[in-house]
Structure 1
Amino acid sequence: MINIEDILNSHSNVKARTFKKGHIIQQAESSATPSIYVKKGILRSYIIDSNGKEHIYMFASKGYIIGDIEAMEYHQSTQLYIDCLEDCEVILFDKEQLLTILSKEHTVIFNQLLSRRIGRLQRRVLMLMGAPAIDRYAYFLEIYPELPIRVPQKMIASYLGISPQTLSSIRSEIARRK
């Protein structure tokens, strides 16, 4: 079965790019709003509040698409920073390229990816609104099982909306239960 990477790779106007760990692919307030398909590595998207604190919106590892959907759709400046947590290989594409690439068959695949992302983000928002931190961490592990060994604990805590100390306590509690 064809997947989104095969679709993107099959078009000459879409090229894979590599970036080193720490590279910022997208700055907040930028007018360039690419979507980014991750072939290798880990990206994160985040905002920086008025006090200078980072708040992680999402992580993207192999097979994920990351970008500022609202900025892309409505031709607005971006709100999100996107940077590389590891050396990365990605495919950058904009809305016009995507529309050119997608045939009816391919649209189904892309819509499935988009629906999966929307569903996961909806669940995350609902959990942030009312679930205990331990449940949010369990959900994080369900979605991103490989990240706890690849991403610093303070970034995971930021994603969960808790302090690194709280996350450490949760991890200790889980270890004691095993």
Structure 2
Amino acid sequence: MLRINLPILEFVEARLNGHPEVGKKVFEAGKTFIQQGSRISKVYFLLSGIAKCYIQEDNGKDYIFEFLGKGEVVGDIEAIRQEKCLCNITAITEVETLVVPQALFNSLLESYPAFNAMIMKELATRISQTCIRAAYQQLYPVEYALLRVLTLENAQQIFISKKDLAAYLGITVRSFNRTVKELRQKKIIDTQGLKLDISQEALVKILNRFDE
């Protein structure tokens, strides 16, 4: 749910520390620093904070692909393919980034096979995780998908708004609230927030039941 990539960040910081073309930039919560359909000249590595990667449909609805944490890189696809931005990137919390020019980023890819392999693995992971999530959203009911997301949110000790969780699941806020109400009636999550109110063993049994 919340992706991090410390090896990539460590690699970049070790080789670009003090580089005259590289700087740091902080974005306040709610700031969109990559705009869908725009052109950018920088690649951003997250040093701290949480951001969301999403597309906005013509009807104004958002679909969130992933939540991004420390070490994640954005703007890499645009740098490699030299095309307009595919998605929006918006800070959920205050986000500090390492800002690298596209030309320098591409130079790293060409000069360091290890870095190239890291980026390829990162791109492959994005595709894999997106496919898996799309599959269980199609094959399983909303209750199952929501429980999986809440399990990850609780485990990673992060807070995501209802609106963003609904956009991540590809459902309306109304459907999200209805499912939450049903889970509360079953005493699976607490009555105030979205914290799981059952044991890990009981949760596993519930999730396994959907596979039967």
When the two structures are superposed, what TM-score results if normalisation uses the length of structure 2? 0.68
Stretches of structure 2 lacking an aligned partner (at least 5 in a row)? 1-5, 191-196, 199-212
1:59 corresponds in structure 2 to: 67
Alignment of 1:3-14 (within 5 A): 3-9=7-13, 10-11=15-16, 12=19, 13-14=21-22
What is the alpha-carbon distance in structure 1 between the residues aligned to residue 105 and residue 43 of structure 2?
A: 9
Identify which of 85, 89, 94 aligns with 2:96: 89
Give CA-to-partner distance per residue, 1:80-138, whole Å, 9 cap, x none.
22111111111234553223224123333333333322221121122233222233234
Alignment of 1:24-173 (within 5 A): 24-32=32-40, 34-67=42-75, 69=77, 71-93=78-100, 95-102=102-109, 103-141=112-150, 145-146=155-156, 149-164=158-173, 165-169=177-181, 172=184, 173=186
Specify the code of the residue in structure 1 equivalent to 2:39: S
Identical counterparts, % of pairs? 21
Say if 2:49 and 2:96, in contact at 8 Å, map to a contact too: yes
Give CA-to-partner distance per residue, 1:49-99, whole Å, 9 cap, x none.
222222222211223233473x44433322422111111111234553223
What is the alpha-carbon distance in structure 1 between the residues aligned to residue 79 and residue 134 of structure 2?
A: 21
CA RMSD of aligned residues (A): 2.8
Cα 1:122/1:35, change in 2 over 3 Å: farther
What is the alpha-carbon distance in structure 2 between the residues aligned to residue 37 and residue 49 of structure 1?
A: 26
Cα 1:75/1:104, change in 2 over 3 Å: closer
Cα 1:175/1:143, change in 2 over 3 Å: closer
Identify which of 1, 13, 30 aligns with 1:22: 30
Stretches of structure 1 lacking an aligned partner (at least 5 in a row)? none
Cα 1:175/1:150, change in 2 over 3 Å: closer
What is the alpha-carbon distance in structure 2 between the residues aligned to residue 35 and residue 170 of structure 1?
A: 43
Specify the code of the residue in structure 1 equivalent to 2:60: G
What is the alpha-carbon distance in structure 1 between the residues aligned to residue 72 and residue 178 of structure 2?
A: 28
Greater radius of gyration (CA): 2
What is the alpha-carbon distance in structure 1 between the residues aligned to residue 151 and residue 142 of structure 2?
A: 14
Q: Could you say which structure has the greater relative contact order, defined with CA pairs below 8 angstroms and 6 or more residues apart?
A: 1
What is the alpha-carbon distance in structure 2 between the residues aligned to residue 67 and residue 125 of structure 1?
A: 23
- The 3-state SS of whatever aligns with 2:189 is helix
- The 3-state SS of whatever aligns with 2:115 is helix
Say if 1:33 and 1:68, in contact at 8 Å, map to a contact too: no
What is the alpha-carbon distance in structure 1 between the residues aligned to residue 43 and residue 140 of structure 2?
A: 30
What is the alpha-carbon distance in structure 1 between the residues aligned to residue 89 and residue 26 of structure 2?
A: 14
